[in-house]
């Protein structure tokens, strides 16, 4: 498995937003890989660039955003370089995405079954006659009770969890190789959260689909991902297999993040908040964007960051790793 070429390989991706009061360097030299069938988590606090990473891969960034450098090879094709029309034929077929808020991600005045049918007709090579039965099948697949009837339901007639199931059915309709899940459970209550995540896991396993799980919940990532990429202020600070990351966090930020994550046997009072906030991403930034919050800061931290590999598959971008 390790020898196989990765399904998605993001290399030195940089994204800027040109705003009225300056250029925001949202992503800088972001690199990571996902292998076929693997689930990779991207974690970090709000504003660390997790969603921008996802949107960049799908190339649905805001018009104010510019991809200023880097490549993202998907199955050998650079997604940043291909034409929009080619991208359109890949979106929904080879790579799909599900969002944070399923309610707004469905067209409010179109029956959910027909929305799934739209994707099938666009990519699935399904004849007009079979679209309906195929869509009902997909609804049943994501464990929606009474799929025949739900086919005709409008999104407002379904609960948030149901809508997310429909979104999943929609995203998986054409059997994509990669699913980008941008905080798929944030808007849902805890029990629904678990059910939805289990569903994604199960379907990903059944179809050998790679999943990029974007979340601010380290616990959720720990439970579902094989590897975790930690982001801070537009940088990838650390990337490691899940167990390794929790056992030996090397980057000071990761260590703080792990310490701030609730887990069994630790009283809530013992959870330490990470001091400081994200730096302003406009203008000149220090080489290490965590330096202003870091207790281990030393003058040489301002030199361009090294990427060290303390263990197999474990990388950390820091001069003074733990």
Partner 1 sequence: MTAAALRHARYVVTENPITFVAFTMLLILALLGPALAPYDPLKSDTANTLKPPSARHWFGTDQLGRDMLSRVMVATRLDMAIAFSAVALSFAAGSLAGACAGVFGGWTERIVSRISDTIMAFPLFVLAMGIVAALGNSVFNVILATAIINLPFYARMARAEANVRREAGFVEAARLSGNGTMRVLAVHIYPNCLPPMMVQASLNLGWAMLNAAGLAFIGLGVRPPTPEWGILVAEGASFILSGEWWIALFPGLALMLAVFCFNLMGDGLRDLIDPRRRT
**Residue 107 is a binding residue for partner 1 (CB under 8 A):** yes
CA separation for the pair 281, 296 (Å, rounded): 22
CA separation for the pair 212, 282 (Å, rounded): 28
**Residue 297 is a binding residue for partner 1 (CB under 8 A):** no
Task: Please check whether residue 50 is in contact with residue 216, taking contact to mean a CB–CB distance below 8 angstroms.
Answer: yes
**Residue 119 is a binding residue for partner 1 (CB under 8 A):** yes
Which span sits near partner 1 by CB under 8 A: 85-93, 246-254, 268-276, 290-298?
85-93
**Residue 96 is a binding residue for partner 1 (CB under 8 A):** yes
Residue 60 three-state SS: coil
**Residue 53 is a binding residue for partner 1 (CB under 8 A):** no
Shortest approach of partner 1 to residue 109 CB, angstroms?
A: 5
- Site track 165-194 with partner 1 (rule: CB under 8 A), x = hit: --x--xx-x---------------------
DSSP letter at 57? H
Shortest approach of partner 1 to residue 235 CB, angstroms?
A: 26
Which span sits near partner 1 by CB under 8 A: 40-48, 117-125, 242-250, 299-307?
117-125
| Strand extents, DSSP E, 142-234 | 178-182, 210-215, 227-232
- b/e 206-239 (16+ beta carbons within 10 angstroms → b): eeebbbbbbbbbbebbbebbebbbbbbbbbbbbb
**Residue 93 is a binding residue for partner 1 (CB under 8 A):** yes
Which span sits near partner 1 by CB under 8 A: 100-108, 220-228, 233-241, 254-262?
100-108
Shortest approach of partner 1 to residue 26 CB, angstroms?
A: 18
Q: Which of 83, 85, 125, 269 binds partner 1 (CB under 8 A)?
A: 85
* Helices (H), ranges, 7-155: 50-58, 84-90, 112-123, 128-141, 147-150
**Residue 259 is a binding residue for partner 1 (CB under 8 A):** no
If we measure between CA atoms, which residue out of 41, 62, 71, 46 comes closest to residue 234? Answer: 46
Task: Please check whether residue 163 is in contact with residue 115, taking contact to mean a CB–CB distance below 8 angstroms.
Answer: no
Q: Which is nearer to partner 1, 41 or 155 (CB)?
A: 155
Q: Which of 8, 41, 44, 90 binds partner 1 (CB under 8 A)?
A: 90
Shortest approach of partner 1 to residue 276 CB, angstroms?
A: 32
**Residue 29 is a binding residue for partner 1 (CB under 8 A):** no
Which span sits near partner 1 by CB under 8 A: 3-11, 164-172, 197-205, 261-269?
164-172
Residue 180 three-state SS: strand
CA separation for the pair 123, 116 (Å, rounded): 11
**Residue 159 is a binding residue for partner 1 (CB under 8 A):** no
Residue 259 three-state SS: helix
CA separation for the pair 159, 120 (Å, rounded): 24
Q: Which is nearer to partner 1, 147 or 252 (CB)?
A: 147
Q: Which is nearer to partner 1, 188 or 257 (CB)?
A: 188
CA separation for the pair 67, 60 (Å, rounded): 11
**Residue 135 is a binding residue for partner 1 (CB under 8 A):** no
Which residues would be at the binding site for partner 1 (CB under 8 A)? 58, 60, 85, 88-93, 96-97, 99, 101, 103-110, 118-119, 122-123, 152, 154, 156, 167, 170-171, 173
């Amino acid at each position: 498995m390790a020898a196989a070429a990765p399904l998605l390989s993001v290399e030195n991706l940089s994204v800027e937003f040109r705003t009225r009061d300056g250029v925001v360097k949202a992503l800088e030299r972001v690199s990571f890989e996902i292998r076929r069938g693997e689930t990779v988590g991207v974690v970090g606090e709000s504003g660390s660039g997790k969603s921008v990473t996802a949107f960049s891969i799908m190339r649905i960034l805001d018009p104010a955003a510019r991809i200023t450098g880097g490549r993202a090879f998907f199955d050998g094709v650079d997604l940043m370089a291909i034409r929009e029309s080619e991208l359109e034929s890949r979106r929904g077929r080879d790579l799909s995405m599900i969002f944070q808020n399923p309610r707004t991600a469905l067209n409010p005045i179109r029956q959910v079954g027909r929305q799934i049918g739209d994707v099938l007709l666009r990519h699935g090579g399904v004849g007009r006659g079979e679209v309906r039965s195929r869509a009902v099948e997909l609804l049943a697949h994501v464990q929606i009770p009474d799929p025949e009837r739900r086919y005709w339901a409008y999104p407002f007639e379904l609960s948030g969890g149901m809508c997310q199931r429909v979104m999943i059915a929609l995203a998986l309709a054409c059997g994509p190789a990669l699913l980008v899940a941008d905080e798929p459970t944030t808007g849902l209550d805890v029990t629904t959260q678990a059910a939805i995540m289990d569903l994604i896991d199960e379907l990903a396993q059944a179809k050998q689909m790679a999943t990029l799980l974007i979340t601010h919940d380290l616990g959720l990532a720990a439970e579902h991902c094989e590897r975790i990429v930690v982001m801070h202020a537009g940088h990838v600070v650390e990337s490691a297999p899940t167990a390794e990351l929790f056992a030996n966090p090397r980057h000071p930020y990761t260590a703080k993040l792990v310490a701030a994550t609730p887990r069994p046997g630790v009283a809530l009072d013992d959870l330490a908040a990470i001091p400081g906030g994200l730096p302003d991403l406009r203008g000149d930034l220090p080489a290490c964007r965590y330096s202003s919050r870091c207790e281990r800061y030393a003058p040489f931290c301002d030199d361009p960051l090294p990427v060290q590999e303390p263990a197999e598959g474990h990388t950390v971008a820091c001069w003074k790793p733990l």
